[in-house]
Structure 1
Amino acid sequence: MKYQFIEQHKQEFPIVVMCRVLDVSESSFYAWRKRPTCQRKREDAQLTEEIRQEFYAHCGRYGSPRLHAELRDQGRSISRKRVARLMHEAGLCAKRKRRRVLTTRRDTTHPVAPNTLNRDFTAPEPNKKWVSDITSIPTAQGWLYLAVILDLYSRIVVGWSMSASCDEDLVEHALDMALTRRRPKSGLLHHSDRGSQYTSRAYRLILEQSGIMVSMSRKGNCWDNAAMESFFGSLKEECVGSTIYTSHEKARLALFTYLEVYYNRIRRHSTLGYVSPLVYEQRALQQAKKNV
Structure 2
Amino acid sequence: MHDYLALEHILISRLTSHHYMRELGLRSIVRRRKTAYVKGKIHQIFPNLLNQQFDIEQPNRIWATDFTYLPMPDGSMRYNCTIIDLYDRCVVATCNGAHITAELAMITLQKALDMHKPGKGLILHSDQGAQFTSEAFVRFCEEHYVQQSMSRAGCPYDNAPMERFYNTLKNEYFNLRKFRDVKSMNEGIYWFVYCHYNRRRPHSYNNGLPPYAARMSA
**With structure 2 as the length reference, what TM-score do the two structures score?**
0.93
Query: Residue 152 and residue 239 in structure 1: after superposition, are their counterparts in 2 closer, same or farther (change >3 A)?
Result: same
Post-superposition CA distance 1:264-286 (Å, at most 9, x none): 111111111111111000011xx
Distance (Å, rounded) in 1 between the aligned partners of 2:181 and 2:75: 6
Alignment RMSD = 1.6
Shift of residue 161 of structure 1?
1.3
Contact residue 60 and residue 116 of structure 2 kept, 8 A? yes
Distance (Å, rounded) in 2 between the aligned partners of 1:201 and 1:217: 18
Contact residue 141 and residue 247 of structure 1 kept, 8 A? no
Unaligned runs of 5+ in 2: none
Give the percent of matched residue pairs that are identical in Structure 1 and Structure 2. Answer: 32
The structure 2 residue matched to 1:269, chosen from 200, 203, 211, is 203
Post-superposition CA distance 1:226-250 (Å, at most 9, x none): 1111110110011111544332112
More helix by share: 1
* 1:61-76 → structure 2 map (5 Å cutoff): 67-76=1-10
Structure 1 partner of 2:17:
83
Shift of residue 141 of structure 1?
6.0
Paired residues, what number? 217
Structure 2 partner of 1:256:
190
More strand by share: 2
The structure 2 residue matched to 1:223, chosen from 154, 157, 170, is 157
Distance (Å, rounded) in 2 between the aligned partners of 1:210 and 1:201: 14
Shift of residue 84 of structure 1?
1.4
**With structure 1 as the length reference, what TM-score do the two structures score?**
0.70
Structure 1 partner of 2:106:
172
1:117 maps to 2:50? yes
Structure with the greater relative contact order (CA < 8 A, sep ≥ 6): 1 or 2? 2
Q: If you compute each CA radius of gyration, which structure gives the higher value, 1 or 2?
A: 1
Unaligned runs of 5+ in 1: 1-66, 285-292
Distance (Å, rounded) in 2 between the aligned partners of 1:192 and 1:254: 25
Query: Which range is displaced more, 142-151 or 71-80?
Result: 71-80
Shift of residue 154 of structure 1?
0.7
Shift of residue 123 of structure 1?
0.7
Shift of residue 217 of structure 1?
1.1
